[in-house]
Structure 1
Amino acid sequence: MQIAVALVSLFSLLSLISADVVTSFKPQCMEFFYRGMVPIWGEATPDAARICQRFVNRYHFATLYDTHHRIAVYSAYHFQPSNGGGREKRWFVEPQLVNSSWQAGMKTGEKLGKDHPGVYQGERQALNEDYKNSGFDRGHLNPNGHHAVPSSNATFTLTNVVPQNTKLNQNAWRMYEAELTDLFRAKCSKAYVLVGAIPSAHNWIGKNQTKRVNVPDYLWNAFCCVDNNGKPVQSGGGSARNTKDNCVERHSLDGLGKFLKRFTNKPVGELFDNNCI
Structure 2
Amino acid sequence: MSQRQMLKFSTGALLLLLPWFGGLVLGEVNADFSNCLDFFYDKTPPQGISAAGYQPICQRYKNQYHFASLYHRQHRAPLYSAYILSPADGKRPNTSWMYEPQLAFSRADPEMKPFTTTVDQNVIESQAELKDYRNSSFTKGHLNPSLHQKTKEDREATFTLTNIVPQQAGSNSGPWSRLENEVLRKFNAFCEGPMYVITGAMPYESEARWMNNRVSIPEYMWSAYCCPSYKSDLPKSVWPFFPTYAAVGRNDRNSGEEIVPVNVKAKASVRGYDVRRMTLETLEGILSQRLDMPINLFRGQCQ
TM-score range, shorter chain: 0.7 to 0.9
What is the count of residue pairs matched by the alignment? 249
Cα offset, 1:29, TM superposition: 0.6
SS of the aligned residue for 2:68 comes to strand
Asked if 2 retains the 8 angstrom alpha-carbon contact of 1:20 and 1:96, the reply is yes
* Structure 1 residues 18 and 79: alpha-carbon distance in aligned structure 2, compared to 1, 3 A threshold: farther
SS of the aligned residue for 1:97 comes to helix
Cα offset, 1:233, TM superposition: 4.8
Asked if 2 retains the 8 angstrom alpha-carbon contact of 1:69 and 1:199, the reply is no
Q: TM-score, normalised by structure 1?
A: 0.84
Asked if 2 retains the 8 angstrom alpha-carbon contact of 1:51 and 1:62, the reply is yes
* Structure 1 residues 235 and 173: alpha-carbon distance in aligned structure 2, compared to 1, 3 A threshold: same
Equivalence for 1:72: 78
Q: 2:57 aligns with which of 51, 67, 70?
A: 51
Distance in 1 (alpha carbons) for counterparts of 2:100 and 2:76: 12
Bigger mean CA offset, 79-88 vs 170-179: 79-88
- Normalized per residue, which structure has more strand? 1
Equivalence for 1:19: 27
Residue identity opposite 2:159 in structure 1: F
Cα offset, 1:143, TM superposition: 0.7
Residue identity opposite 1:250 in structure 2: R
Equivalence for 1:194: 198
Asked if 2 retains the 8 angstrom alpha-carbon contact of 1:217 and 1:242, the reply is yes
Asked if 1 retains the 8 angstrom alpha-carbon contact of 2:144 and 2:163, the reply is yes
Structure 2 runs not aligned, ≥5 long: 1-23, 232-240, 254-271
* Structure 1 residues 106 and 100: alpha-carbon distance in aligned structure 2, compared to 1, 3 A threshold: same
* Structure 1 residues 233 and 241: alpha-carbon distance in aligned structure 2, compared to 1, 3 A threshold: closer
Cα offset, 1:260, TM superposition: 1.1
The reply on whether 1:29 has 2:29 as its aligned counterpart is: no
Equivalence for 1:8: none
Give the root-mean-square deviation of aligned CA atoms.
Answer: 2.2
Structure 1 runs not aligned, ≥5 long: 1-15
Structure 1 ranges of 4+ moved more than 3 A: 117-120
Equivalence for 1:95: 101
State the identity as a percent. Answer: 37
Which whole-Å deviations, capped at 9, do the CAs of 1:98-143 have from their partners, x for residues lacking one?
10111111001218x5xxx854411121001100111100000011
Distance in 1 (alpha carbons) for counterparts of 2:286 and 2:68: 23
Q: 1:132 aligns with which of 131, 134, 150?
A: 134
Equivalence for 1:276: 302
Residue identity opposite 1:198 in structure 2: M
Equivalence for 2:7: none
